[in-house]
Every structure is written in C-alpha cells, then in structure tokens.
Chain A
Amino acid sequence: KAGVTQTPRYLIKTRGQQVTLSCSPISGHRSVSWYQQTPGQGLQFLFEYFSETQRNKGNFPGRFSGRQFSNSRSEMNVSTLELGDSALYLCASSLASGQETQYFGPGTRLLVL
C-alpha cells in the first residue's frame, strides 16, 4: 500500500504571497491532519479533516486554511505569507477520526523570503 504523499516537496515563496500544499492519504484512510514543524516550536497541530469536514483546529491564525475532497485528498492554504511561516508542513492520515495512529507523509519544506 502506498504511503502518504505530499506535493510539492520543496517550495520557495516571498512575503505576501499565498501557497497551496497537497496531501494524498493512504488508500482507505479518511482522516487527514496537518502539522507545522519548526526548530523552535516542534510539531504543532494545524487542523484535521474527516469526511470533507474540519473536525478540529489548532491555534493558528485564519491565514491557515484547508479543505478535504470526496476522495479524502486534502489541501492546505496559507495566505499572505510571513517569514515565520517558513517550516516543514506535515500531513498525516488515519483510518478514522479518533484515537487512531496517524501515518505521516514526507512533508513540504516551505521557505518564505
């Protein structure tokens, strides 16, 4: 079974731009969660989608948004990029929403200049 895939793997943007990241979960997994990893803050939860609905949201500003499609693929969008948004963005999938083990993709490395 293929793992979680994320595209693109690397991205360079400038301040003020917006970016869209994509995540394809493991086949059969319906829950997708997004995390931001930075050296100072570690892994921080952004949001979780299940059955095309946002089920849970972390403490990030409204510039961070996401959506999930009927095939469980998910996208994350960041508008009006700031330098501090430079990070590794990780997507994780699980079978369902709840106490399930999450399986991570390789991440998208975003650099904001």
Chain B
Amino acid sequence: DQQVKQNSPSLSVQEGRISILNCDYTNSMFDYFLWYKKYPAEGPTFLISISSIKDKNEDGRFTVFLNKSAKHLSLHIVPSQPGDSAVYFCAASAKWSGGSNYKLTFGKGTLLTVNP
C-alpha cells in the first residue's frame, strides 16, 4: 500500500528552465510534507517543507505547492541548474491522535537530470 506516490521515475529538463516534480498521497491524515534531494552515496538532504495549513512555500529557487483537495503536491525549481541533478524524494507525515507517533513516509523518488 503505497501512500506516497511519485509517478515519474525520471525527468529531464534544460538548464535555465523550470523543473516540476509531482507527488500524490492517499492518506488524508498526512499534514506535513517535505522534499529531499539525494545524490548517489549520500543521505537525503532536506530541501523544503510545507504544512497542510498552507498551500505554498517558497525558498529561493524552490517552491512547493500543496493541493489538499487533490492530495497532490509539487516542487518547482526555477531556474534549473545542472547541480540540481539528483533523485528527489517526496515525504509525508501525520500526527496521530493520542500520541506523537512520527515517521516519514517516502515516495520512491524521481531522478531529475538538468542538461547544460
């Protein structure tokens, strides 16, 4: 049961253009979402997050949009740079009632390639 889905295994864009990475989730209890970037042989690096009370969060070239009704979020990178080439993971978490059971549920990742 894959609760967080990244349906595009890979994405290729030209340097300077916009990269849009998509993520869908099924668990309506999720209320906090994160994007991580991962290079080979390294651990994931936190990029940006968004709480379910917002629909947009921006940090420099990175913007995350959340559409709660569609259970969809996206990461926009503008402008894309060759150094952005990496695997991008979407992750979600929920705070269940009665406790602070916290874990991140990850999508399987999207490999972004930015061509010079």
Tell me, yes or no, whether A binds B. yes
Using a CB–CB distance below 8 Å, which chain A residues touch chain B?
Answer: 4, 6, 31, 33, 35, 41-45, 48, 55-56, 58, 90, 92, 97-107, 109
Residues of B within 8 A of A55 (CB): 100-102
List, in ascending order, chain A residues with CB within 8 A of B59's CB.
none
Q: CA A103 – CA B42 in complex, angstroms?
A: 12
- Contact yes or no, B102 A43, CB < 8 A: no
- List the interface of chain B (C-beta within 8 A of A): 31-32, 34, 36, 41-46, 49, 51, 89, 91, 93, 95, 100-109
Interface pair A106/B105, CB less than 8 Å apart: no
Q: How far is the CA of A90 from the CA of B42 in the complex (A)?
A: 10
Would B103 and A33 count as touching, CB distance under 8 A?
yes
Query: Contacts of A104 on B, CB cut-off 8 Å?
Result: 36, 43-46
Contacting pair A42 B106 (CB below 8 A): yes
Sample of 16 A–B contacts (CB below 8 Å): A4-B43, A43-B44, A43-B104, A45-B103, A48-B102, A55-B101, A58-B103, A92-B104, A97-B100, A99-B32, A99-B95, A102-B46, A102-B104, A104-B46, A106-B41, A107-B43
Given known A4-B43, A90-B43, A103-B46, contact A56–B36 (CB-CB < 8 A): no
A100 touches B43 (CB 8 A): no
Query: In the complex, A102 Cα to B105 Cα: how many Å?
Result: 12
B102 touches A99 (CB 8 A): yes
12 new A-B contacts, CB < 8 A, other than A42-B106, A104-B44, A104-B46, are A6-B43, A35-B106, A43-B44, A55-B101, A55-B102, A90-B43, A97-B100, A98-B102, A99-B51, A102-B104, A106-B43, A107-B42
Contact B103 A43 (CB under 8 A): no
The complex places the Cα of A33 from the Cα of B103 at a distance, in Å, of 8
Partner of A48, one of B44, B89, B103: B103
Question: Which chain B residue shows the least CB distance to A31?
Answer: B102
CB distance from B59 to the nearest CB of A (A): 12
Q: Which residues of A contact B49 (CB under 8 A)?
A: 101
Chain A nearest CB, measured from B48 CB (Å) = 10
Residue of A nearest to B49 (CB): A101
Q: Report which residue of A31, A33, A42, A104 has the largest number of chain B beta carbons within 10 angstroms of its beta carbon.
A: A42
